[in-house]
Amino acid sequence: MSFRQDRKEETRSYKRLFLIAAEGANTERSYFDGNIRYLIGENDVDFHIVSYQDSFPLHVLEALEGEIENRKNELSANDEAWIVIDRDQWKQEHIQEVIDWVNGKPKDIFRRDLALSNPCFEFWLILHFEDGKELFTTEECKNKLKEYIKLNRNKVPEQSIQREQVKNAIPTELLQNGQTCYNVEFKVG
């Protein structure tokens, strides 16, 4: 007498990949690695923070393009490539080149996007706590942020941003800034 035992086939679920090239080496990286990754969970999304030499927007873009080229055989339609830059000190023509890259007709199958902080990434962090309507300069943003988060070597402490704060910050940024910035579609709860 023989019997056949049905075995379930193991299938590996696909993790959505976010390639993120951010102007700031510490603040932005620690925000995504220590806060957003934690809120989303390791099972659903993989963040890869792209390394680069300096914060000039076109150099950050070049680094992102290099990472895309290195991963071209593993990227899928569900993946995204983001460039995260500040508006504060850069000329509009440099910002426009990045916008043109995002809006261009890429042959890539994945999504390209831009998170443009105006004036700086610290403003985005403040929006997790308040509307920031009275903040106009980078210096004002950095000083105000100290009321909410104590940066350690320009790093956002792990798990210092909560799920509800991220949910609140996204619509605030879209209302305050006429551009489509932080149009984040990954789930935070």
Does the pLDDT at position 81 exceed 70?
yes
Does the pLDDT at position 11 exceed 80?
no
Collapsing DSSP states into helix, strand and coil, what is residue 36?
A: helix
**Least confident interval from 12-26, 39-53, 68-82, 129-143:** 39-53
Does the pLDDT at position 151 exceed 50?
yes
Is residue 95 within 8 Å of 57, Cβ to Cβ?
yes
pTM for the full predicted model: 0.77
Instruction: Specify the DSSP element, H or E, that contains 70.
Output: helix 57-70
Question: How many whole angstroms separate alpha carbon 89 and alpha carbon 67?
Answer: 25
β partners of residue 20: 49, 82
Q: Residue range 108-126: average pLDDT?
A: 88
For residue range 47-60, list pLDDT tens digits in order.
888 977 788 999 99
Give the confidence band of 185 by pLDDT, cuts at 50, 70, 90: very low
Residue 19 is given by DSSP the state E
Residue 186 is given by DSSP the state S
Phi, psi of 112 (to 5 degrees): -110, 140
Collapsing DSSP states into helix, strand and coil, what is residue 171?
A: helix
